Structure 1
Amino acid sequence: MQRSDVTRNDGAWVGLSLDVQDRHQPELCIFTAGPRLLVSQSSKPVLLAAVEEPLQGVDFWRTDEYRSFVPPLRADVGRALSRSPQRWAHRFAHYLIDSPGSPLHEGRWLLSCESPLLRWRHAATSHAEYWSSMLVEGHPNGYIDWFFHSTSFEVLPLRPMPGPGDSRVKAYRKQVREGTLPPVLLWWVSGLDCHLILDGHARLAAAIAESIEPPLLQLHRTMPRDDLATRIDDAVGFYEYELERFAELRAVHGPTVPDGSATAGPQLVRLLHDANTAEQPTWAWPLPGGEGQWHRIAREATLGKDWLRT
């Protein structure tokens, strides 16, 4: 795997680009069968989901099979890496590529400290209230409401969230107050239109209990390298076209017409940044056996319970 830091034009760190090769199907994998999805880890069902027609939401059943591939994060490590999302990203990248149970497969990914979740809280809403509202409720079954939470991309825990009295939450609350809380690792899954918590359920619970903004690292697919090269060529071509257009206008109307760089330059920077960082749809594999197999897995995982909304 090749890693490279992604920065903005002003040098601000955005995230870590991961170029993964020779990893065709990950151990944490999404399968599809028509409008039904299965999230599986090491061949065990983690999450069963059924998209409701007409695309208003998703019914889900969460099993207790998910296991984080990130080992327990010691307090001294939290202090050593505190307030450095860049160093945390490199550490989590190591776990993502080397540990079993990771969702990484071949292609380009971004592990970023910039998540849309961090931009939507209204100033009058406390962090505790906001982050509690972004959590999808329900265990073992629940509903991701696309209609009510349109484009707000909720957070779906892969196991029940611990309460404020949990021993791990209590320990992390101390780190919250010290400013050394490790980030919560999220995975953006387009087929669910929400973020899955890969690691940090107790850390997020601690941040909510202390009503602070949790540090986040968001993982999502980005544009494949071949497509990225094409997008870069298109952006540069557009920039050159704009400069030529302004040059022609200057030739006709004189030097009072600007040369175009003041508008085309910043637009080129935005196009290049978006091409390098924008979210791409999450890969999913056809479920062998199709919907029939999905229903068999669902009956076994739910002990035959009728959990789908009607």
Structure 2
Amino acid sequence: MQRNDASRNVAAWDDVTRNDGTWVGLSLDVEEHRRPRLGVSCAGQHLLISQGARPVLLAVVGEHLQGVDFWRTDAYRSAVPPLRADTARALAGSPERWAHRIARHLVDSPDGPLHGGRWLLSPESPLPRGRHGGTSHAEHWSSMLVEGHPDGYIDWYDHSVGWEVLPLRPMPAADDSRVKAYRKQAREGTLPPVLLWWVSGLDCHLILDGHARLVAAIAESVDPPLLELRRTLPRDDLAARTHEAAGSYESELARFAELRAVHGPTVPDGAATAGPELARRLHDLSTRARPTWCLPLTGGEAEWHRLTREVTTGRHWPPA
């Protein structure tokens, strides 16, 4: 485990790897007292994502749970500062080095979503795996983008298990000057990763940073490099469930030992099956996404409706 003395809000960083040494992501153990400025609150089926006192996204889950109507403001500000081209060239092709750099920005910035608990910042995401044969990268990623500004709809019926990407601000045009610079990096293979945040209440990936980079990747029809931020099992629960998994492993070996005592050494010792199963369980405990932390909205639905009237300036939203 690697200590991080740069911030009192993080107890430790920990590189997560598989048994074969493959790097999976960067685990962040955030001190319990930390509170996020970018966070989710709710009142019934009404959700609010705010950044400090600024509403960023208002949403309401449909009555039949087939999707979410949303209204996006222009208030979102990224916790990651602009990434320089020389930095992109220096870190090109290394998601591990990018994760350490971006994690530092998330830890040090007051405007990000990190709160007390454990998080994983990982390049592994289901999004690229959803591309069907014969579909170009541009077509696939364009289909993943949730359209609409200021209002739109997250479709849970056609896109399940979080396979959509919702920008937190309007996407720039393909001829935008920033996009043109990133298109060159996409062709060179030095494009910095797009930072995503999986929010369970929306069942959707939100773009925390890299709107222009994603447009550039689509324009060049390449898979954008990704870093996905997700909440994982808290430290105490992880320790308890790890203990349970180890106990199950030992019980399975004891069962095989009893069989060997009765039937002789032709019975295997069980390690060949119990060992890989234990490894899978431990990996899953350490990396699987947990539901996003959602606080009760102070003032309840009345406050949500008040904010809606304020940010929509009298527009008829949400639709009936």
> How high is the TM-score relative to the length of structure 1?
0.98
Query: Match for residue 240 of structure 1?
Result: 250
Compute the displacement of 1:130 (Å): 0.5
SS in 2 for 1:58: strand
Is 1:21 aligned to 2:44, yes or no?
no
Letter in 2 for 1:254: G
SS in 2 for 1:307: coil
Compute the displacement of 1:24 (Å): 3.7
**Identity among equivalent pairs (%):** 71
Distance in 2, Cα, partners of 1:3 & 1:114: 18
Question: Number of paired residues?
Answer: 310
Is 1:64 aligned to 2:70, yes or no?
no
Compute the displacement of 1:152 (Å): 4.5
Distance in 1, Cα, partners of 2:165 & 2:142: 10
- Aligned pair partner of 1:141 in 151, 173, 177: 151
Is 1:203 aligned to 2:213, yes or no?
yes
Query: Match for residue 176 of structure 1?
Result: 186
* Cα displacement string for residues 110-131 of structure 1 (whole angstroms, at most 9, x for unaligned residues): 0001111122212321111111
**TM-aligned CA distance change 1:22 to 1:271, over 3 Å:** closer
Is 1:303 aligned to 2:313, yes or no?
yes
> How high is the TM-score relative to the length of structure 2?
0.95
- Aligned pair partner of 1:260 in 257, 265, 270: 270
Letter in 2 for 1:143: Y
Distance in 1, Cα, partners of 2:274 & 2:158: 38
Distance in 2, Cα, partners of 1:260 & 1:22: 40
Query: Match for residue 124 of structure 1?
Result: 134
Query: Match for residue 4 of structure 2?
Result: none
Letter in 1 for 2:122: S
Query: Match for residue 6 of structure 2?
Result: none
SS in 1 for 2:127: helix
- The root-mean-square deviation of aligned C-alpha atoms, in Å, is 1.0
Query: Match for residue 216 of structure 1?
Result: 226
Q: Which aligned pairs between 1:84-103 and structure 2 lie closer than 5 A?
A: 84-103=94-113
Gaps of 5+ in 1: none
Query: Match for residue 114 of structure 2?
Result: 104
Letter in 2 for 1:92: I
Q: Which aligned pairs between 1:30-45 and structure 2 lie closer than 5 A?
A: 30-45=40-55
Structure 1 range deviating more: 213-222 or 16-25: 16-25
Letter in 1 for 2:297: L
SS in 1 for 2:197: strand
Distance in 1, Cα, partners of 2:47 & 2:201: 8
Structure 1 range deviating more: 182-191 or 236-245: 236-245
Compute the displacement of 1:228 (Å): 0.2
- Aligned pair partner of 2:280 in 244, 264, 270: 270
Would you say the 8 A contact 2:32–2:117 is kept in 1?
no
Distance in 1, Cα, partners of 2:160 & 2:32: 36
